[in-house]
Amino acid sequence: MFIKALAVTLLFLSFILFAGTLSSRSVTPSSPKPAPTRQQVEDPTSLRARVKKVKAKGEKKAKFGSPVPIYAETTGLEESAANYLIVLARPLGATTLMLSPHKLTTFQKFEILDRLTTPITKSCCGPKTSDLPPGLAVSGPNEIYVRMNGGTYVIDDVEVTQEPEFNFSGTEEYLLFLLPDETGVVSTIPLGPYGVFNVKGDGVESILNYPHVLDTEIKAKHNGSLGRLRAKLKTAPGSK
């Protein structure tokens, strides 16, 4: 009787194990779907994504806002003369490229007519020579590129414009406070519009319609005269 009961128990356990094996074989976990790659997920804030929406409407031109830069500050001409290359320059031409998915960059070429200061190059803070894209070059020491945000560029057959930091005219001359790279080929204007002045004859005027530190000092101490300003800067620290 005992043997018969044992046989029944073993048979029942065997059935349970067999059923469990079948169950484990029949349930196969599904393979997880691969996460979408970075190329598959398009940033909706990128210029290309925004252009797609413009094209869907049948439009051929688009105007977008530019990133708001953070500009440096200055205490006045003495500090600026020690830190920046101050030049009298004339625009020659500009090239706009899309170096970032979210913004356009313009490289404005200038002819340097006069160098009012020649500060010591700071490797920590200025642009790098490598910032200048292939195909852009200067023909001599009296030419320099200024890198700035904004410009106009064609993306997927749509003319895209981002408001440029500066609107330089090829028929005018400017006094610029530049921060050049080690070779003097490419530069930025860290002071932004506070470091750009129109020059007409002997007159120096800010491109802004309100007073600021440099504008006030140039008017108060140098009577807004390029000649007087030049004489002062060429004897200031940072000049040669």
Question: Within a domain: residue 41?
Answer: no
Asked whether residue 15 is assigned to any structural domain, the reply reads no
Q: Residues near 127 by Cβ (< 8 Å), separated by ≥ 6? A: 147, 179, 180, 181, 186, 187, 188
pTM score over 0.85 = no
DSSP code of residue 236:
S
Q: Does the residue 35 lie in any domain?
A: no
CA angle in degrees (0–180, nearest 5) for 106-111-116: 110
Residue 8 lies in a domain: no
Beta strands at 173-180 and 85-100: parallel, antiparallel or unpaired: antiparallel
- Number of domains composing the chain: 1
Q: pLDDT tens per residue, the chain (240 residues)?
A: 444 444 444 444 454 444 455 444 544 455 565 655 555 577 999 999 999 999 999 999 999 988 888 999 999 999 999 999 999 999 999 999 999 999 999 999 999 999 999 887 665 666 777 778 888 888 888 999 999 999 999 999 999 999 999 999 999 999 999 999 888 899 999 999 999 999 999 999 999 999 999 999 999 999 999 999 999 998 765 555
Please indicate, yes or no, if residue 184 is contained in any of the structural domains.
yes
Q: Per the domain annotation, does 19 fall within a domain?
A: no
Q: Does 34 map to a domain?
A: no
**Angle between helical axes of 213-222 and 226-233 (0-180°, round to 10):** 100
64 CB-near residues (< 8 Å, 6+ apart):
47, 50, 160, 161, 162
The domain that holds 195 is classified in CATH as: 2.40.50.120
Q: Which residues constitute the domain of residue 215?
A: 62-233
192, part of any domain? yes
